[in-house]
Every structure is written in C-alpha cells, then in structure tokens.
Amino acid sequence: MVPHAIKALTFDVFGTVVDWRSSVARAIDDFSRRKGLAIDAAVFADAWRDLYDPAMDDVRAGRRPWINLDDLHRESLLKLLSRYGVSGMSEAEIDDLNRAWHRLDPWPDVVAGLGRLKRKFILATLSNGNVALMVNMAKRAGLPWDVILGAEVARHYKPQPETYLRTAAFLALEPQQCMMVAAHPGDLDVAARCGFATAYVPRPLEYGPHAPQERKSERRYDAVATDFLDLASQFGC
C-alpha cells in the first residue's frame, strides 16, 4: 500500500519506461541497411548510450555550460559515426538519426499501467532527457504524463540532488510527497537521500537478454513491483 502522503510519482524514463536499447538498435539497423553498411546495431546502441554519462559529467562539474540531451546525443553520434568510418551524411540525416531517441517504445505494461496510476497521482517525468525528447516520445507512444520535468527544467543532470529537489519544488510538493519510480538502484538511492519515497521496478531486459543484472542496492524501497500494472494494483489504482 502506498503511503497516503504521496501526491506525485516521478519517473526515470530511459530503461524504466521505455526500452531504449531495442528501439535505438532498430533505428541503427534501418540506417545501416539503407546505407549498405554492416553495423551491429545493438553494439552501436550500447556504445551510444555509453558516451552519455561522461558527456553529462562535464556539465555536472560545471566545466561547460548547460547543454541538453539532444545536443549531447548528437555530439556522441558524430563521434560514433566517425569511429565507424561513416561520412557524407547530411545535417538532416544526422538529426533524424539522432531523433531515434524520441521514438523509443515503452515496455508492454507501461501505457496501461500509467493510465491507472494517473487516476490517483500526478505523473511527472524525472529524466535526463530534454523536454522536446520527452514530449515527442510521449506523443508517439501515448504516455499520459501530467507534466514533463527533470533535468532540462531543473538545469541539473541526475544524479545531482538539484534535479530531484527542483522537480519537487516545481510541483510545490515536499520531497516526502513524491515517489521516485525507477529500474536503477542508484537513481532511487539519490532520490531517497533527497527525501523522496522510492518504488523499484526492475527491467531485467534493459540491456538485452544476456546482460548481467544490475547489482541490488542495500537500501530498502517503499515499493517493489514487477511492472507498472503490478505497481498500480499495489497502490489500489
């Protein structure tokens, strides 16, 4: 049962809500075929994702001014294309491929689960993805967010505490009135240190069927659910 003080559920998105890896790999595979290349799409997708955290680190550390995730993704993409020896793409082609991150498919339980959770809670994104990315993804996939918050409006990337605290502040809620929902223990641990309640929804297929599973955090969560439908049932939605 959910503590009755909770007013908003704040969601990690990449991995928790959407299957970024299969979706990005699909886009890379299409691109690779169209160009007559022989790129291993899943390897490319993982490499793209791997460049994401170090790219944000410069922003987190104040070594460079704010830059949103679309622009960071594009920088990483240019590096990867160069590494793969792909050249001669137009700016429009690069932009379109970069927008693969706007076209991510949700896990199968997500749309129905969010629809039920929305009856009782404010549903907010608390992702490092920028606003346009989140809006376009939601529009395509039918994700019924009440509000798009997180890194771009907080001007801080997770796991910086400001990302969580400013999200709660935008909602005019105390952190204790917010519950972070994520598939990643590290995200939940920082949220908990900020005062948020936590719901752990593991997504064992995030890194593919053969990936090692994420190490469990030692922290106890306020809720653990197999998917969003289970979470909705636990919360009486």
Interaction of residue 70 with a copy of itself, rule CB under 8 A: yes
The region of 57-65, 169-177, 183-191, 200-208 touching a copy of itself under the rule CB under 8 A is: 169-177
Among 81, 111, 131, 165, binds a copy of itself (CB under 8 A): 131
Rounded to a whole number of angstroms, the distance between the first and last alpha carbons of the chain is: 11
Closer to a copy of itself by CB, 32 or 128: give it: 128
Q: Report yes or no: 22 and 130 within 8 Å, Cβ to Cβ.
A: no
Interaction of residue 171 with a copy of itself, rule CB under 8 A: yes
| Residues in contact with 206: Cβ distance below 8 Å, sequence separation at least 6, in sequence order | 15, 19, 20, 21, 183
Among 51, 89, 94, 135, binds a copy of itself (CB under 8 A): 135
Among 147, 161, 195, 222, binds a copy of itself (CB under 8 A): 147
Backbone phi and psi for residue 150, each to the nearest 5 degrees, phi listed first: 100, -155
Closer to a copy of itself by CB, 150 or 202: give it: 150
Task: Please tell me the distance from the alpha carbon of residue 19 to that of residue 176, in angstroms, as a whole number.
Answer: 29
Task: Please tell me the distance from the alpha carbon of residue 224 to that of residue 169, in angstroms, as a whole number.
Answer: 25
Q: How far apart are CB 178 and a copy of itself at their closest, in Å?
A: 12
Closer to a copy of itself by CB, 132 or 165: give it: 132
Among 29, 46, 96, 146, binds a copy of itself (CB under 8 A): 146
Interaction of residue 61 with a copy of itself, rule CB under 8 A: no
Q: How far apart are CB 205 and a copy of itself at their closest, in Å?
A: 28
What is the CA 234 to chain-centroid distance, rounded?
Answer: 23
DSSP assignment, residue 125?
E
Interaction of residue 132 with a copy of itself, rule CB under 8 A: yes
Interaction of residue 180 with a copy of itself, rule CB under 8 A: no
Helices (H) and strands (E) in the chain, counts: 11, 6
Measured from the Cβ of residue 118, the count of other Cβ atoms closer than 10 Å reads 16
Among 128, 21, 150, CA closest to 71:
128
Among 77, 110, 138, 151, binds a copy of itself (CB under 8 A): 138
Interaction of residue 151 with a copy of itself, rule CB under 8 A: no
The region of 42-50, 147-155, 181-189, 227-235 touching a copy of itself under the rule CB under 8 A is: 147-155
Beta strands in the chain, from DSSP E residues, in sequence order: 8-11, 122-127, 147-150, 178-182, 197-200, 223-224
Q: How far apart are CB 137 and a copy of itself at their closest, in Å?
A: 11
Task: Please tell me the distance from the alpha carbon of residue 27 to that of residue 15, in angstroms, as a whole number.
Answer: 17
Q: Which residues here bind a copy of itself, judged by CB under 8 A?
A: 70, 122, 130-132, 134-135, 138-139, 145-149, 152-153, 170-173
